[in-house]
Amino acid sequence: MFPRALFAGVFSLSLLAQSPDAMLTPAKNEHRLTCTVTPVKPVMSFSFSFQSGFVLAVPARQFAGAPGQVRIIVRVAGRNAEPVYYSRTMAYHGVPANTRYTARTSGGWLLGEGDYDVAFAFIDSQNRACRKRWTVHARRNRSERGIPMEIPPNTVVSFQSLSIPQPAHTAGPPRRLTVLMHVTPMSVWRLGLRPGDTMRLLGTLRSVMRHGSFTEVRVVAFNLDQQAVFFRTDHLDTASWHQLERAMSGLQLYTVPISVLQRPRGEVDVLTRLAAEEASATPRSDAVLFLGAPDRSDTKLNEPERESLAPALGLPVYYFELRPYWGRGADFPDLVEHVVKNLGGRTLRIHSSADLAAAIKALDETNPGA
């Protein structure tokens, strides 16, 4: 069959160590391969760098007949900078000649501020190719000018190449932060976690660690649909960061255990338990940050549940509620916001990277020693 699963991927291009410029130049007797390449305009991401890339659509009937391979090659070059090359190879077989299926995939990279030239080639094993060139202009708008950029100007990096953030180092006493991360799709209409969802969550966590002033970070990752905690570490470092990435990639959200259906208010129990654990945690954190997209349920706290949460944690509690611009709508409070409010905390809705930068500043300023 045609590899739908492969073509459904995103942001999975591999960095090339050697230049494939010859493949980016049309070959002699090359035939045209029908495809549509749509450049993705650069957008400031929650990791405080520009995210750009492409979307590729290819009519699958072109690959009917003998098995073969297709390859994507991309060259991205900042002005007066060395180019960076990415590639991806996919195999296909058994494609019906009368299929109307259009295969789609996408790829991307992170940029510093600047201008970039992109050369794209989609080549198959029958000497056919689809090519495109375009220019990318990555510029901060007025609201983003105060954001500390993660990547230098005219620099291209892959999503996997960003260094693992390390907590701040200060001469004073340690400042501890607990991050309670709700890992769920950014859109309430999707069940599964997409790569873009993971990137936003980890990008936000990366920025909190990079640009906050906390020296130790404890992370607990949970999902309310599953009513489960699936990752925790008392000290987030390089090793545990990779463990968190693997735990998120292995999260199965399309089904739920029967036991979850038997607990109609189990999501409240999860949040209540997390708050109780934090109240008795040793060493005690200087702040607690709930982080994630809105909960998809319409559950609200009843009176007994509010009373069980009534004893405040005695420290600042924040909720960074991620609502990207494309998901912007009526901002109704979700269950996490109800819990945070009951704990005497504050919800900050994050629609853009500028919102995130302001939220990180507010989180720091409400803590002693910030």
Q: Quick one: tokens of 103?
A: 């295969």
In the chain, % of residues over pLDDT 70: 90
Task: Write out the H or E segment, with its range, that includes residue 72.
Answer: strand 68-78
In the chain the first and final C-alpha atoms are separated, in Å, by 57
pLDDT tens for each residue of 122-152? 999 888 999 999 999 999 999 999 898 999 9
Model confidence at 271: pLDDT above 90: yes
- Whether residue 367 is predicted with pLDDT greater than 70 in this model: the reply is no
Residue range 252-263: mean pLDDT, rounded: 80
Is the predicted pLDDT of residue 310 greater than 70, yes or no? Answer: no
In eight-state DSSP terms, residue 163 is: P
pLDDT tops 80 at residue 118: yes
DSSP state of 28: T
pLDDT at position 212: 87
What is residue 17's predicted lDDT score, i.e. its pLDDT? 56
Give me the amino acid identity at 215.
T
pLDDT band at 169 (very low <50, low <70, confident <90, very high): low
For the segment 61-88, what is each residue's pLDDT rounded down to a tens digit?
999 888 888 999 999 999 888 899 988 8
Res 221: pLDDT: 97
Residue 328's pLDDT is 56
Single-letter amino acid code for the residue at 229 = V
> How is 114-136 classified by DSSP, letter by letter?
EEEEEEEEEEETTSEEEEEEEEE
Strands 84-92, 128-138: pairing is unpaired
Average pLDDT over residues 244-249: 92
Query: Hey, is 364 helix, strand or coil?
Result: helix
Of 84, 78, 101, 232, the closest CA to residue 161 belongs to 84
- 8 Å CB contact between 82 and 17: no
* Domains of the chain, earliest start first: 4-159 (2.60.40.3880), 163-365 (3.40.50)
Task: Give the tokens for residue 188.
Answer: 């309430």
